[in-house]
C-alpha cells in the first residue's frame, strides 16, 4: 500500500510505503491462500480443489478464442471450464510468478502441450472465493 505524505520525499516511490493494517494483511493472506489452491488444482491435475474456491457470481474471461476470448459467468460455468482445463491431459501448466495485493492477484503462467503460450490472469477474491478472473495470453 502506498500512502502519500505531503512534504516527505521518497527516492523511488510517489509516496511512502506504509505498514499494512491488520485488515490488509488478513485479506492478502486469504487471497494468497485461495490463489495457492487455485494454482494447485492445475499443477496437480486436481480439479476437485476448485469446488470451494468459486463465488456464485464469478466471471471469467479467457484468453481465447480471438479476438475477445470466451466468457464464463456464474459458479457452474466457471467450475466446469476450470475443471476441464485442470484435468486435460494434453496440456501442462507452469506458474511463473504470483503477486498478491489485498483482494487482487496476478498469476503469470505458461501452458505447454497442443498449443504453447504464456499469459497472465488478473484475479479478484472476495470472502475467500474467486469473483473475477481476467485472462490474457500470447503465443510465442
pLDDT, one tens digit per residue, over 4-49 is: 333 333 333 344 344 444 444 454 469 999 999 999 999 999 999 9
Quickly tell me which residue has 480439479 as its cell. 47
Q: Identify the pLDDT of residue 29.
A: 61
pLDDT at 63 over 70: yes
What sign has the CA pseudo-torsion 91, 92, 94, 100?
positive
Which residue bears the cell 466446469?
Answer: 80
CATH code of the domain made up of 2-138? 3.10.450.50
Domain ranges of the chain: 2-138
> Could you tell me the strand order of the sheet in which 54-61 lies?
71-73, 54-61, 129-138, 117-126, 104-113, 91-101
Amino acid at each position: 500500500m502506498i500512502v502519500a505524505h505531503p512534504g516527505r520525499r521518497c527516492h523511488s516511490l510517489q509516496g511512502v510505503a506504509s505498514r499494512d493494517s491488520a485488515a490488509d494483511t488478513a485479506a492478502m493472506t486469504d487471497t494468497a491462500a485461495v490463489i495457492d489452491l487455485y494454482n494447485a488444482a492445475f499443477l496437480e491435475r486436481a480439479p476437485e480443489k476448485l469446488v470451494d474456491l468459486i463465488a456464485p457470481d464469478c466471471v471469467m474471461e479467457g484468453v481465447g478464442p480471438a479476438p475477445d476470448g470466451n466468457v464464463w459467468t456464474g459458479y457452474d460455468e466457471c467450475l466446469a471450464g476450470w475443471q476441464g482445463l485442470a484435468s486435460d491431459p494434453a496440456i501442462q501448466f507452469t506458474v511463473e510468478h504470483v503477486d498478491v495485493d489485498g483482494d487482487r492477484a496476478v498469476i503469470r503462467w505458461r501452458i505447454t502441450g497442443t498449443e504453447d503460450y504464456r499469459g497472465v490472469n488478473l484475479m479478484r477474491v472476495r470472502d475467500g472465493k474467486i469473483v473475477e478472473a481476467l485472462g490474457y495470453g500470447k503465443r510465442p
